[in-house]
């Protein structure tokens, strides 16, 4: 069983990390959340294997979604979202893909989207899920998942390029 989990870890680590990074926009926080996800998954792997039904991908991303939400709940206890102190939690690692200003702008635009759109985007582009997997994860039809993604991308693209 532990050998099987090693294969799951190898296959999904990067996808879960990318999902967490996209949601948190911070390298170190994404690493922490990813570690938390795989720890919880390892602790519950035998129960998951015995259930059947959900795919490993759907199961891991559900854990990841909850871990990211837990992170934001903990963050809200430390500092209000409206506070200027939030900038300290975003990170400015020079190895990050986007400039600090781009990340700030992207975060603002993402916050303007509804939760469903943000979730669909993160699952698709950072979780590398197919439309079918996104649909199962979100409890919508595959066509609906595609529409949600298309509209969210278009909103972000228009607003990001208008500045």
> How confident is the model over 114-132, as pLDDT tens digits?
888 888 888 887 788 888 9
> In angstroms, rounded to a whole number, what is the distance separating the alpha carbons of residues 123 and 64?
10
Task: Record the pTM.
Answer: 0.60
Whether the per-residue pLDDT at 73 is higher than 70: the answer is yes
Structure tokens at 21: 């990074």
What pLDDT is stored for residue 86 in this prediction?
37
Mean pLDDT for the chain overall: 79
> In angstroms, rounded to a whole number, what is the distance separating the alpha carbons of residues 120 and 74?
23
Ordered domains of the chain (ranges, CATH): 2-161 (1.10.10.10)
Asked whether the beta carbons of 142 and 132 are under 8 A apart, the reply is yes
Whether the per-residue pLDDT at 68 is higher than 50: the answer is yes
């Amino acid at each position: 069983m532990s050998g099987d989990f090693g294969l799951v870890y190898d296959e999904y680590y990067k996808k879960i990390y990318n999902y967490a990074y996209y949601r948190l926009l911070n390298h170190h926080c994404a690493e922490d959340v990813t570690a938390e996800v795989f720890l919880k998954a390892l602790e519950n792997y035998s129960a998951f294997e015995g259930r059947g039904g959900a795919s490993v991908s759907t199961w891991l991303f559900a854990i990841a979604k909850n871990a990211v939400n837990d992170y934001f709940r903990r963050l809200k206890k430390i500092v209000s979202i409206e506070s200027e102190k939030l900038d300290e939690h975003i990170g400015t690692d020079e190895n990050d893909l986007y400039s600090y200003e781009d990340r700030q702008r992207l975060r603002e635009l993402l916050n303007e989207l509804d939760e469903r759109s943000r979730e669909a985007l993160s699952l698709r582009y950072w979780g590398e899920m197919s439309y079918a997997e996104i649909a199962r994860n979100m409890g919508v039809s595959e066509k609906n998942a595609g529409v949600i993604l298309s509209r969210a991308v278009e909103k972000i693209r228009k607003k990001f390029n208008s500045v």
